[in-house]
Amino acid sequence: MAGFRQLLRNTPQGLYCPPGNFHIDPTQPVDHAVITHGHSDHARAGHGTVLATPETLAIMAARYGADFAVSSQAARYGEAVTRGSVSVTLVPAGHVLGSAQAVLRWKDRTAVISGDYKRRRDPTCPPFQPVPCDLFVSEATFGLPVFRFPPSEDETAKLLKSVTLFPERTHLVGVYALGKAQRLIRLLRETGYDKTLYVHGALASMNALYEAHGVALGSLAHATDDTRNALPGEIVLAPPSAIADKWARRFTDPIPAFASGWMMVRARARQRHVELPLVLSDHADWDELTFTAQELKPEELWITHGSEEALLRWAALNDISATALEIAGYEDEDE
């Protein structure tokens, strides 16, 4: 870690780059911020300046209003921006619309901060782009060998099969409003499912934003019908907190489903009273995390937010020099 301390260090606000004088995904208001993607634990309001992709800036504006920062600067994927003596380039991370890795070049060294990322296909955003680097700062949300996600197509097939088997019931799927909702919708559309999908009001603004950025979601309608026994045989998407709550009562004998990487573990699904767990995550699973670290072969690997312990052990077994960064303030996906 010592070798890169001049370029990047951990502070109470999050990762800080002294020669460029900016924080990356700070968890508290700072003067200058580089934001990797629009999820609220990474993209907070109240910074001085913000550098992010145009899509991420649009997401922040939709969530917090146009005055989410004093000023903002858009950097398209691959476009180098200079901050102090550091060159900053945002490259696709494959996590959600606009999500980026921050590539920092300083003197002859390259550091990549992955932000949240995944390696598998996502029809709503460009794929993760591996960048050779000396230091790789990796997320570790699903950093345990138990998390090896099945093909996404298996999970959408499971949902559609259940709809066929229980045509008299409503399928109520818990999804994260930014990214998961739109990805699931696109995956369903790709199977040829062209019926109207019903969505909770909390998902509407992000759906509209994706549509405006060219991600066609097909026929959507608000699940506002509050008569009893509403929408039999239909698929309804809602924030995870809504599927087991009062809001869910309007539907016909609903089957609670949840699209999340945590659904890999049965006890997690049971705790939430989920009857149809769908393993669908926007994060890298264990195989993707370890594959990426091996592919990039950085001189050093820093591991942030998630299960650091198992990845540290894996790195030691594979002769990779690794350190866990404890950054406070990041949340588990969907929790």
Partner 1 sequence: MKAFARLLDQLAFTPARNAKLTLLRDYLSNAPDPERGWALASLTGALSFDAAKPGFIRKAAEARLDPQLFALSYDFVGDLAETVALVWPARPGANREPELPEVVESLRSASRREVPQLLERWLDALDATGRWALLKLLTGGLRVGVSARLAKQTLAQMGDVPVAEIEEVWHSQDPPYGDLFAWLEQRSDKPSAETPGRFRPVMLAQAIDEATDFSRYDANDYAAEWKWDGIRVQAANEGGQRRLYSRTGEDVAPAFPDVIAALDFQGVIDGELLIFRGGHAAPFGDLQQRLNRKTADTKLMEKFPAGIRAYDLLMDGAEDLRDLPFAERRKRLEIFVTRLKSDRIDLSPLQPFESWEGLAQLRAHPPKGDPEVAEGLMLKRWDSVYEPGRPKGPWFKWKRDPHLIDAVLMYAQRGHGKRSGFYSDYTFGVWREDSNGDRSLTPVGKAYFGFTDEELKRLDKFVRDNTVERFGPVRSVRADRDFGLVLEIAFEGLQRSTRHKSGVAMRFPRVNRIRWDKPAREADELPTLEKMLD
User: Binding string, 92-131, against partner 1, x = CB under 8 A?
Assistant: ----------------------------------------
Measured from the CB atom, the residue of 81 and 265 that comes closer to partner 1 is 265
Tell me if 275 contacts partner 1 by CB under 8 A: yes
Tell me if 62 contacts partner 1 by CB under 8 A: no
Query: Min. distance of Cβ 115 from partner 1 in angstroms?
Result: 24
- Of the candidates 48, 78, 150, 201, which one interacts with partner 1 according to CB under 8 A? 150
Kindly report the three-state secondary structure assignment for every residue of 208-276. Answer: HHHHHCCCCCCCEEECCCCCCCECCCCEEEECHHHCCCHHHHHECCCEEEEECHHHHCHHHHHHCCCCE
Query: Min. distance of Cβ 226 from partner 1 in angstroms?
Result: 13
Calculate the dihedral angle through the C-alpha atoms of 27, 33, 39, 44, rounding to the nearest 10 degrees: 50
Tell me if 274 contacts partner 1 by CB under 8 A: yes
Instruction: Say whether 116 sits in a helix, a strand or coil.
Output: coil
- Of the candidates 76, 121, 195, 273, which one interacts with partner 1 according to CB under 8 A? 273
- Of the candidates 1, 74, 131, 265, which one interacts with partner 1 according to CB under 8 A? 265
Q: How far is CA 9 from CA 12, 106, 177, 227, 329, in A?
A: 10, 14, 32, 55, 16
Q: Do the beta carbons of residue 307 and residue 284 sit within 8 Å?
A: no
Measured from the CB atom, the residue of 85 and 318 that comes closer to partner 1 is 318
Tell me if 181 contacts partner 1 by CB under 8 A: no
Tell me if 306 contacts partner 1 by CB under 8 A: no
Which strand (E) or helix (H) includes residue 81? strand 80-83
Tell me if 256 contacts partner 1 by CB under 8 A: yes
Q: Which residues contact 135 (CB under 8 A, 6 or more apart)?
A: 4, 7, 8, 109, 110, 111, 112, 298, 299, 300, 301, 302
- Of the candidates 76, 107, 297, 313, which one interacts with partner 1 according to CB under 8 A? 313
User: Binding string, 208-247, against partner 1, x = CB under 8 A?
Assistant: ------------------------------------xxxx
Query: Min. distance of Cβ 147 from partner 1 in angstroms?
Result: 8
Rounded Cα distance between 25 and 226, Å, is 39
Tell me if 153 contacts partner 1 by CB under 8 A: no
Tell me if 266 contacts partner 1 by CB under 8 A: yes
Tell me if 5 contacts partner 1 by CB under 8 A: no
Q: Supply 49's token pair.
A: 């300046």
Centre a 10 Å sphere on the Cβ of residue 198 and count the other Cβ atoms it contains: 22
